[in-house]
Amino acid sequence: MSAIVTLKKGEGRTIKAGGMWIFDNEIDTILGSFENGDIVIIHDFDGYPMGRGFINVNSKIRIRLMTRHVDQEIDEEFLRMRVQNAWAYRKTTVDISSCRVIFGEADFLPGFVVDKYEDVLVVQCLALGMEQFKLKLVELLKETLAADGIHIRGVYERSDANERKKEGLPKVKDFIGEPFDTNIEIVENGVHYMVDVVNGQKTGFFLDQKYNRLAMQRICKGKKVLDCFTHMGTFALNAGIAGAADVTGLDISEYAIEQANANARLNGLENTVHFRCANVLDELPKLAAAGEQYDVVILDPPAFTKSREATKNAIKGYREINMKGLKLVKDGGYLATCSCSHFMTQELLAKTIREAARTAHKRLRQVEFRTQAADHPILWAADESYYLKFYIFQVVDEK
């Protein structure tokens, strides 16, 4: 018999709004015994059944919801239904050659992420309660893809994020099943990349910017482009493939620059797309002092904040980087700028960019506002699923 968790009166606002989390301070009583990771039944303060989810007393997110039906067994058929729904959604909304197949809470499989790179799956399990389902979910996903004629040749686990510690879990980096060559060539928006799923950041590649990179292709044709925090050269190479006249990519990581240069050669773009290792915050003022100006500047920084408490410092960071970037854009040129932190809301980012533009004496005309690709769906009421905000502006001098 599952333990029954009863919420305090007035709590459970997140799951009542359609979200997936119950925090430690929202719980009144727990009736029955359980072990961390067990599925429990959730009741509102008045006994109204709210669903079933897995519990972990090590985590501030005490319960992650699996279903809103208290009589629903979390069995193989249930997991198959979740996996098939996730795949059907991707087939409808995105290019599936390489995409995020399962996006945790937003696919109603909390704490579980799977990226597909051509015929390889990369798995990330960030919640204790999902560990028990991990191998079964991989099996069901391979079965679901096989039904569409997609044969998966290998699966690698990248559960090496710090969130695992909060769940009381060790970090894991290993093959699930037989070893295979973990350098995979993918094609996105006509650009070829070699993805290293063992050593690359997160699961090896940032798929969430796919259509934002595509949006930049139209703008970069024939232009002089600066791509900051280039990582594997993704925006720079999209500019290059679209016919940019000259592209410079900057990143502080020597490993990332090596990968970016290899990707430029892979696409035959080494004559127009150049990369160099530099601290972007230091390099931009040097470029400005040297009189450099660009038709297009792209700012894709790492998350300056991973907690609500650090948001104030992050605002300073985003303001500074946008101010420095804006000073390098020619009159009538373009700025693409983004944030990948869900704590940096769209309103907060817009306010910060506005302040940066004022300080740099630049006027902005918004071309478009974009978010993460549709294979990273935003579940309303699950704020953490909405993290990427991406602006494209035309920059005009104040005259």
User: Which DSSP string do the residues of 35-91 spell out, in sequence order?
Assistant: -TT-EEEEE-TTS-EEEEEEE-TTSSEEEEEEES-TT---SHHHHHHHHHHHHHHHH
Q: Which residues contact 205 (CB under 8 A, 6 or more apart)?
A: 98, 115, 117, 186, 193, 195, 232
How far is residue 93's CA from residue 377's CA, in Å, rounded to a whole number? Answer: 10
- Match 């319960």 to its residue by tokens: 63
- The token duo for 294 is 């660009």
How far is residue 73's CA from residue 70's CA, in Å, rounded to a whole number? Answer: 8
Each residue's pLDDT tens digit in the chain (399 positions)?
Answer: 799 999 999 999 999 999 999 999 999 999 999 999 999 999 999 999 999 999 999 999 999 999 999 999 999 999 999 999 999 999 999 999 999 999 999 999 999 999 999 999 999 999 999 999 999 999 999 999 999 999 999 999 999 998 898 899 999 999 999 999 999 999 999 999 999 999 887 788 899 999 999 999 999 999 999 999 999 999 999 999 999 999 999 999 999 999 999 999 999 999 999 999 999 999 999 999 999 999 999 999 987 766 667 678 788 889 999 999 999 999 999 999 999 988 889 999 999 999 999 999 999 999 999 999 999 999 998 888 999 999 999 999 866
**Exactly one of 125, 228, 338, 340 is catalytic; which is it?**
340
> What CATH number does domain 4-67 carry, 3.40.50.450, 2.30.130.10, 1.10.1740.10, 3.40.50.2300?
2.30.130.10
- The token duo for 111 is 């704490």
Amino acid at residue number 4: I
Q: Which sequence spans correspond to the domains of the chain?
A: 4-67, 76-185, 206-397
CATH classification of 206-397 is 3.40.50.150, yes or no? yes
E strands present in the chain: 4-7, 21-23, 27-31, 39-43, 49-55, 61-67, 98-103, 112-117, 120-125, 154-159, 172-175, 183-188, 191-196, 224-228, 246-251, 273-277, 294-299, 329-339, 362-371, 389-397
How far is residue 20's CA from residue 22's CA, in Å, rounded to a whole number? Answer: 7
- Report the predicted TM-score, pTM, of the whole model to 2 decimal places: 0.94
Rg (CA), the chain: 23
Query: Is 76-185 in the same CATH topology as 4-67?
Result: no
The yes-or-no answer on residue 220 being catalytic is no
- CATH code assigned to 76-185: 3.30.750.80
Q: If you write DSSP's letter for every residue of 164-190 in order, what string do you get?
A: HHHTT---EEEESSS----EEEEEETT
